[in-house]
Structure 1
Amino acid sequence: MAAESKTKYDRQLRIWGEQGQAALEKASICLLNCGPTGSEALKNLVLGGIGSITVVDGSKVEAYDLGNNFMLDEESLGQSKAKCVCSFLKELNDAVKAKFVEESPDTLIETNPSFFAQFTLVIATQLLENSLLKLDKICRQANVILVVARSYGLTGLVRISLKEHNVIESKPDHFLDDLRLHNPWPELKQFAKTIDLSVTDPVVHKHTPYIVILVRLAEKWADAHDGCLPSTRQEKKEFKDLIKAHMLNLDEDNYKEAIEASFKVSTPRGISSHLCQIINDAAVQVDSTSPDFWVLVAALKVKSFLLLVFKVPPLISFVL
């Protein structure tokens, strides 16, 4: 991404990241009917840096339009509504490609259905049900996302129609490392047992990896609690106290890291039921035309199979 774009869209990049912004800049949007609802939707997309927009509206600007659409003024009266709205939007962000089509959306749906296949997303506003049903069929066949919006004064509705939407990088609020603290693999257990946490040499003590500290003390806790790891709030606090008790002084960063990561000892193993459902979706057949999302899911499924059948060691599985 260019440095200019990073500066221009800095605030939103912090929300959805560079991948989200790149998807936005590649997208092509078609708006059907540029009334107040549709115009407001396009305004937000244009300010966000959408790739290109196409406004479709065959009507002329009338007096009542001036009271509900801030993109129109008295000089717009009698002119093409699509042209006036498109001109205003281009002024908001000159990096966005914008064009207009002076034609009724209903007519376009009837006479030129292939027109909609060129877009990433179609926003249909204030359309009648008959036209919406036809448009929905057209968009689904072309694998184009359809957003339907209709407003009634201060109320309205929004509906989204699409086959599926895949998100590879969702930019989660936090990332939980899989440290295998519930069931460390044999090599890690063996290595951890070679480290004596009771050693009084401050140099050796400060250089013990915090994961080893957690593995050793989690095992010690389990031995004293019928094989169970800390689960309640009080037990987690007591486990932190156990870590603190092994510190020689308060400036040992490795023990501070162990205390901060102590909650990972109580984190359940395995993957969520939602992810299992996606991995085991037998209806999905991956080929050379499949989206990247399903290719990655197929690879993850193969990896899971190797781990289950061939018992591939965890360290190797990370590379697969």
Structure 2
Amino acid sequence: MALPQQHTISEDEAALYDRQIRLWGAEAQLRMRNASILIAGMRGLSNEVCKNIILAGVGSITILDHENITEQDFGSQFLIRGAALGTNRAAAAAEKARLLNPRVNVIVDQEDIVKKDDAFFQQFNIVCLVGCTIDQMIRVDDACRASEKRTGFYAANVYGFNGYIFCDLKDHHYRVERQEENAATVIIQKHHTYDSLSDVLLARFGFPTPRKLRRKVSPLLLAIQVLWQFQQQHGGRLPQSSSQEDLATMLQLRDTKLKDAQVDPAFVDDSLIQVLVSTGSAEIMPVCAVVGGYLAQDILKTLSAKDAPILNHYIYSGMEATGVVHHIKKE
């Protein structure tokens, strides 16, 4: 795979990205210019992320997807055309993505992600999985944590009206600017330590009151984790909206999951589980736009090393039009 060589910012690029350089500085733009990013899973959410990252001027973006385009894809993906029906998702999306910014090297990989070894993921600066199973997310996250390149890991998806982002940067250093009373700008160096996805899934909350618990975790996050468990038990498929059996299974998994997490099962209402079952297989474009915009912004923030990225979950509820960040630890 041809990943980008070390580049400098040309005069043309300085003019093109002038507003961005004014925002986060030439050094940050140079980091992005030399960054290589993997987007695995081409869905409506991925389209939004690719668009924003390519327009920002990263060095290289690899689009990985082994599946072909179906009729359902046209309802959420704006990087594919009607004539591409039945062709590979990654290849079809890359054709239009390259037109957004010819300076960005857009690479297509049509191999199944399960066939990739750990070394494949470790060559990138950022790996972002979209629509993958929890087992795939855990494996790739562990591979990124073992990378000598300090590969950052993101996982995200949209389930109907709801969406999530998980971020693991292991040990991330960044800087923030603070204005002093005398109008001087002071740069402060900071860092965050992240937990792995496998550790986060073992979090225990100790049966706090609902009000205290909501400060730590969204009911929607726990409901999505129940959805992941359903996929584990059913070969990766999502619940069928018309299946009462699938709904009953989800409710049973909810009770078990929350008991293990030391949370009152009533904290995740039946109606929330019903919404995930009835709409979870759909990608709603406005939700993709919100979650995808937030995700792309955070990836660029990580690459620029300016300001704090997500630590470590972002949960979006389209029903309530709210997005929250929760820092979930194993303990």
TM-score (norm 2): 0.51
| Residue of structure 1 equivalent to 2:109 | 101
Which residue of the other structure, out of 119, 142, 156, is the alignment partner of 1:114?
119
Pairwise CA RMSD: 2.6
C-alpha deviations, 1:73-126, integer Å up to 9, x for none? 211111111001111111100000111111222332xxx221111100001011
Larger Rg: 1
Provide the secondary structure at the position in 2 that maps to 1:167: strand
In 1: Cα distance, 2:119 partner to 2:74 partner: 33
Matches of 2:60 and 2:179, distance apart in 1: 33
Q: Shift of the alpha carbon at 1:175?
A: 5.5
- What is the total number of aligned residue pairs between the two structures? 181
- Equivalent residues in 2 for 1:32-51, closer than 5 Å: 32-51=40-59
The Cα of 1:174 is off from its aligned counterpart by 3.0
Structure 2 CA distance for aligned equivalents of residues 38 and 54 of structure 1:
12
Q: 2:173 matched to which residue of 1?
A: 166
Letter in 2 for 1:151: V
1:24 is matched with 32
Residue 157, structure 1, aligned to residue 164, structure 2: yes
Match of 1:134 among 135, 139, 154: 139
Distance in 2 of aligned mates of 1:132 and 1:40: 20
The answer (yes or no) to whether the contact 1:32–1:56 under 8 Å persists in 2 is: yes
1 or 2, which has the higher strand percentage?
2
- Separation in 1, partners of 2:44, 2:138: 23
Distance in 2 between the 1:88 and 1:105 partners? 23
* 1:89 counterpart (89, 97, 101): 97
Give the Cα–Cα distance (whole angstroms) in 1 for the partners of residues 20 and 161 of structure 2. 28
Tell me the secondary structure at the aligned position of residue 150 of structure 1: strand
Relative contact order: is structure 1 or structure 2 higher (C-alpha 8 Å, sep ≥ 6)? 2
Give the corresponding residue for 1:78: 86
Identity %: 26
Partners of 1:75 and 1:154 in 2: CA distance: 29
The aligned residue for residue 130 of structure 2 is: 125
Q: Name 2:220's counterpart in structure 1.
A: none
Structure 1: how far apart are the matches of 2:27 and 2:75?
A: 39
CA contact (8 A) 1:62 1:77 kept: yes
Gaps of 5+ in 1: 177-260, 265-270, 279-292, 294-320
Query: What are the residue-to-residue correspondences of 1:228-243 with 2, within 5 Å?
Result: none
TM-score by length of 1: 0.53
Q: Cα offset for 1:141?
A: 0.2
AA at the equivalent of 1:47: L
Higher share in helix: 1
Separation in structure 2 between the aligned mates of residue 145 and residue 52 of structure 1, nearest angstrom: 15
Alignment map for 1:1-320 (pairs within 5 Å)? 1-108=9-116, 112-142=117-147, 143-167=150-174, 170=176, 172=177, 174=179, 261=182
Cα distance change on mapping 1:175 and 1:21 into 2, 3 Å: farther
How far apart, in 2, do the equivalents of 1:154 and 1:26 lie? 35
